[in-house]
Amino acid sequence: MKALLVGEYREGKLQDNIYELVAFAGKLGADVSMALVGDAANVPRCNGTLHLADVAKYGEYNPGLHRDLILEAVKKEDPDYIVFAHSSYGWDLAPRVAAKLKAAQISEVIGLNDGSLEVGCCNAKMRRTVKPAAGKAVVTLQAGAFSFQGEQGTPAVVALEVAGAPDVEFLGYEPAEAKDVDLTKAEIIVSAGRGVGKKDNIPVIAALAKAFGGELGASRPVVDAGWVEHSHQVGTTGQTVSPKLYVACGISGAIQHLAGMKKSDFIVAINKDKDAPIGEVADVLVVADVLQFAPALTAKLQG
C-alpha cells in the first residue's frame, strides 16, 4: 500500500501538519511519498521521496496549478491514498484532485479501525467506518487526530513540474478577526462543558481557572448556548490548543473538542461519567460532580 502525502507551505514556512499525515500513513502501514509546493530550505524531515515544486514559480496557492502538480506526483507514484490535512488548503484541493482522478473522497478522517477509516457523524457524536470499494482514495485528516512523535530522516527530493500559467492571482493572506482571548498562548486552560449545567455556573469554572493562573475555555455546546463567548471555544471550530495543563470540567469529549486539545501536555478531566470519551485522552479522570469538586479545588489552590 502506498500513500502520497500533500504538504502545505504558507508565508515561507512548511506547516507542521505534514507530520500528522506521516503518522496516519504509519498507522495505515503505507509506504510514504510526499508532494509539496515550497522550497528546498523547508522540507519535511521524513523518510521517503519528496516531489518538490518551486513555490517561486507556482505560487503559495493556485488551485489549478497545484491540482495539476499533485496529479503529476500521483502519476509518478501511483498511490492508493492521496492524503491532505483538513485545512483551507486541503479541503479546497482534495475535491479537485478526486474529481480529476474519479476517485472516492473521504473528508475529516479521525482514526483507523482495522484498516478502515473512521469519520465523525451525527454532529460528531458518533463514528462510522468507511473504506473505498476499489481504486484510489483522496482523504483529508481532521486536525489533531493523528499525533506524530518525532522527525525522521531526510527525504530524497525530486523536482516536480507541470506546464501552464497561473489561472488566478494570489494576493496573500488576510488575518482572521482578532480574538478577545488567544488560548493558543495559554499555559493553563480550564474549560467548561455542558456538564456545568447552566450559564449561572460558569463563574465556578472561571474561578478555578483564575486560581490556577490560567484562562477560561469552553466546549462548543457551551458557546452555542450563549454561556461563554466564542473567543473561548476550544475545538476544530474554535481554537486548537496545546497548554501545559488542560482541565476539562463537565466535558464529555466530542471528537471535535478532543481534536482541539489532545496535544496538551497534561489533561485532567472532571466528569460524573467514568466512561465519558474524555477519559480516553485524560491523564487523570476525576469521577465527581464538577460543581462540588471545582469549588473545593479552587479553595485548596487559594489556601
| Rounded-to-integer distance, Cα 134 and Cα 17, Å | 27
H or E, element range at 2 = strand 2-6
Is 252 annotated as contributing to ligand binding? yes
Is 154 annotated as contributing to ligand binding? no
Return the half-sphere exposure (C-beta side, CA atoms, 13 A cut-off) of residue 6: 28
3-state secondary structure of 32: strand
3-state secondary structure of 129: strand
Is 47 annotated as contributing to ligand binding? no
Is 193 annotated as contributing to ligand binding? no
Is 264 annotated as contributing to ligand binding? no
| Rounded-to-integer distance, Cα 3 and Cα 235, Å | 27
Is 255 annotated as contributing to ligand binding? yes
DSSP character at residue 138: E
Query: What's the grid cell of residue 232?
Result: 473561548
Angle (CA) 227 232 238, round 5°: 110
Is 194 annotated as contributing to ligand binding? yes
Is 230 annotated as contributing to ligand binding? no
Is 158 annotated as contributing to ligand binding? no
Query: What's the grid cell of residue 130?
Result: 468507511
Is 250 annotated as contributing to ligand binding? yes
Specify whether the CB–CB gap between 271 and 287 falls below 8 A: yes
Is 254 annotated as contributing to ligand binding? yes
Specify whether the CB–CB gap between 249 and 196 falls below 8 A: yes
| Rounded-to-integer distance, Cα 249 and Cα 282, Å | 12
Is 233 annotated as contributing to ligand binding? yes
Is 38 annotated as contributing to ligand binding? no
| Rounded-to-integer distance, Cα 230 and Cα 183, Å | 12
Query: What's the grid cell of residue 47?
Result: 523518510
Specify whether the CB–CB gap between 245 and 269 falls below 8 A: no
Query: What's the grid cell of residue 133?
Result: 470499494
Sheet strands side by side (includes 2-6): 126-130, 116-121, 104-113, 137-141, 81-85, 2-6, 31-38, 49-54, 156-159
Residue ranges for the known binding site are 194, 219-220, 233-237, 250-257, 271
Residue ranges for the known binding site for FAD are 194, 219-220, 233-237, 250-257, 271
